[in-house]
Amino acid sequence: MAEIRVVTSSASYPILIGDGLSSKLGLVTKRYAVSPRVFAVFDAKVFALHGQHILRSLKQAGRPVEVFVMPSGEAHKNEKVLAGLYDFLLKSKISRTDLLLAIGGGVTTDIVGYAAATTLRGVRWSAVATTLLGMVDAAIGGKTGINHERGKNLIGAIWQPRFVLCDLSLLQTLPPRELVAGFGEIVKYAGLIGDPMLPLVSRLLDGDASAKDWQVAIARSAAYKARIVSKDEREETIRAYLNLGHTFAHAIEHSLGYGRLLHGEAVLVGLLGAVCLSMLAEPSSAKRLKGYYRLLLSAVEMVPKRKLKPKDLVRAMSLDKKRVGNDHRFVLLKAPGKPYITTGLPAAMITFAVEQMIADYNDFGGKHAPRTGR
């Protein structure tokens, strides 16, 4: 088992990564989050596959467990589902000393974490990440929230968990598209980390990787995020690096309608936009980014084809929560492993990057997209 620690001004907690850890969940909650009761909130698909196994483990700790099952998918990350969760928690008389436990992917941890942050002005919570995307990104760092009709994650709070548990054996039942979505975030980390990560990600993409390679990729990704969050919990400086490709990705999700592409799929496309804009903003970076750009073109072949319109994306980008006033703020790359933050780019340059991103996606996207899943 690997243990990675997040240490911020408000909290210190472990990220636990290994095979079969969900069978020890009761002991983990007892060690890291002592509480009278556990409120377990499951993604519906996870509950159907693993619910009874996880509940058995929780009950071994000898505490009452209350269960709530929420619908799956980004389309349900909204105020209606949140209101249902609030009703459940308040009717069950949750207290600040109880533990709210999110068991699912990024949608689950986002909603449950936000409910924890806002119920009784703050209830302790923890996450059992059951998707690849959750293990490397969504469950780590305390960002929580819901979507709004005007954009993604526009309502939320930063509220750190007591622990994050990643049971790698649960990935065996993950639909192929969800694996691609998680891989999208790993590819993002390859851009942020650079040479130590790029050869590993290339092996994962080529299908030449071992189970150990996957575990290393997950641990390296989680460790990078843990280091960044530990230095900048509130995203005042370098935590923004984690948004590489996300200004484009969030615009893609919003313009298509949530769920048409999974978040990590949109990130893979969005990374193309970020690299293109990097080359436009600093032409000398083009040679250094060539290899990473080729990797992205190969990776985007796994993303299903959707029709993207430049005007819709540019309009959606104007609502991005990371903007400074009315100015776009982008995370770009001078080279793999050398991210930077910039503002004040000309609108024509941004539009050209969007158009080039769409052209690359149209040329390469969907060639090897999984046929199963949503």
Q: Is residue 189 a contact partner of residue 220, using CB atoms and an 8 Å limit?
A: yes
- Host domain of residue 346: 182-364
260: its two tokens: 């048409």
In Å, what is the CA distance from 5 to each residue of 15, 172, 255, 344?
6, 26, 37, 36
Which of 173, 191, 209 finishes a domain? 173
325: its two tokens: 């006033």
| Residue 372 pLDDT greater than 60, yes or no | no
Query: Does residue 293 share a domain with residue 327?
Result: yes
31: its two tokens: 């060690």
Tell me what pLDDT residue 349 has.
97
Band (pLDDT 50/70/90 cuts) for residue 239 is very high
Q: Is residue 213 a contact partner of residue 186, using CB atoms and an 8 Å limit?
A: no
Query: Does residue 340 share a domain with residue 212?
Result: yes
For residue 374, being part of any structural domain is answered with: no
Number of structural domains found in the chain: 2
**pLDDT tens digits, one per residue of 19-68:** 999 999 999 999 999 899 999 999 999 999 999 999 999 998 898 999 99
Query: Does residue 218 share a domain with residue 76?
Result: no
Phi/psi at 66 (nearest 5 deg)?
-100, 140
Tell me what pLDDT residue 373 has.
41
Query: Does residue 166 share a domain with residue 85?
Result: yes
Query: Does residue 168 share a domain with residue 202?
Result: no
Helix axes 25-32, 44-59, angle to 10 degrees: 70
Amino acid at 228: I
For residue 149, being part of any structural domain is answered with: yes
143-148 and 151-158 strand pairing: antiparallel
Query: Does residue 161 share a domain with residue 249?
Result: no
d(CA 100, CA 82): 14
Residue 35: Cβ-neighbour burial (10 angstroms; 0-12, 13-18, 19+): buried
Tell me the CATH number at 17: 3.40.50.1970
d(CA 63, CA 169): 25
Query: Does residue 342 share a domain with residue 221?
Result: yes
Query: Does residue 158 share a domain with residue 84?
Result: yes
**pLDDT tens digits, one per residue of 240-266:** 999 999 999 999 999 999 999 999 999
For residue 372, being part of any structural domain is answered with: no
Sequence-distant (≥ 6) Cβ neighbours of residue 119 within 8 angstroms: 86, 89, 90, 94, 100
